[in-house]
Amino acid sequence: MTGTQFGIFTVGDVTPDPTTGRTPTEAERIRDTVAIARKVEEVGLDVFATGEHHNPPFVPSSPTTLLGYIAAVTERIILSTSTTLITTNDPVKIAEDFSVLQHLAEGRTDVMLGRGNTGPVYPWFGQDIRQALPLTVEHYGLLRRLWREEVVDWDGKLRTPLQSFTLAPRPLDGIPPFVWHGSIRSPEIAELAAYYGDGYFANHIFWPASHTRTMIELYRQRFEHHGHGTPEAAIVGLGGHVFIRPNSQDAVREFRPYFDNAPVYGHGPSLEEFSSLTPLTVGSPQQVIEKTLGFREYAGDYQRQLFLVDHAGLPLKTVLEQLDLLGGEVVPVLRKEFAVGRSPDAPDAPTHQSLLRARDAEAASQSPQSPQTTGS
């Protein structure tokens, strides 16, 4: 897994199939999500990511529980969140959950932090939505220390202090999970990612390219400003949404009722209008390839591309067919084309092993040299 990682993310919605009227049970949706993750590995993709929601009609309220199960039935793919709520989850619990998941998955995990898009979740967990950004900054500052320091004494404004706290278990190999900061619209999140030298994930499925370009350029500039390297060395991820059939007309005809009735799309701009303005691609494998390659025009060389493929009531059979097409016809071409002309400053996508190697190399470079012996 070098260069750019490719995978899928799910929001875990339980939505009626508009073509049959059938709504899956929550149990079915959870089982189907596991089947999708296993298929991601089978077809040769790199990453499976799940969102976090605490309200109907969604099921992934405990992402690390789901990912821990998936870790047991997969061997290779990276298991991530596509949002872990840094605002309403306590940072101590986030640190514990992901340390355990790291050990279970033998390092095949990272985390994407975000504020979410459901306002009522704040009072459900005892927080004030008006404090969303301060919560993000304070909670993340504590989370970083919990993963990196053996004993933490901490005092902030928005939670009770910690005294002599030690995280158990410690991160695997002493390497915290790689952190992506996910955002759609907030420059403050791009700044936070840049300040710490973390990854920035622009989930731009609802926004035009011009906005995404602005956010990524801000992140890259601030990454350099904070001393982490050149703008090209910053770690960028993108979202996307695809529906693929061998024939583009079949794709449009089949997907239209799902788009028209989707909780996040329906009853607004038409499928054609939305596709022209956002990364949504409904068509043939070649059309998906061409549009995805175009993302580099405004994102530069980037490290992770995640696609949404199971939203809006699509039946499991259809989702698995999407993954066959992604893994068999789309991603192999994208891997080859993304390598062409890639900047030498653009790093490979981070993994646990690459972070471990970097840590060990840095330690070796800083160790005192053994004294030279000379002959008499």
Instruction: Identify the band that residue 369 occupies on the pLDDT scale cut at 50, 70 and 90.
Output: low
Whether residue 267 is predicted with pLDDT greater than 80 in this model: the reply is no
| pLDDT for 177 beyond 70 | yes
Which structural domains are found in the chain, ordered by start?
5-366 (3.20.20.30)
Q: What's the pLDDT score for residue 174?
A: 96
Calculate mean pLDDT across residues 91-114.
97
Instruction: Using a pLDDT cut of 70, give the percent of the chain over it.
Output: 97
Q: What is the mean pLDDT of the chain?
A: 93
pTM: 0.94
pLDDT at 50 over 50: yes
Q: Using the Cα atoms of residue 252, residue 255, residue 256 and residue 260 in order, give the sign of their dihedral.
A: negative
- Give 177's DSSP letter: P
CA distance 69 to 205: 28
Paired with 181 in beta bridges are 113, 200
CA–CA distance, 159 with 135 (Å, rounded to integer): 9
Q: Looking at the predicted structure, is the pLDDT value of residue 109 above 70?
A: yes
pLDDT of residue 259: 94
Quick one: which H or E segment has residue 178? strand 178-183
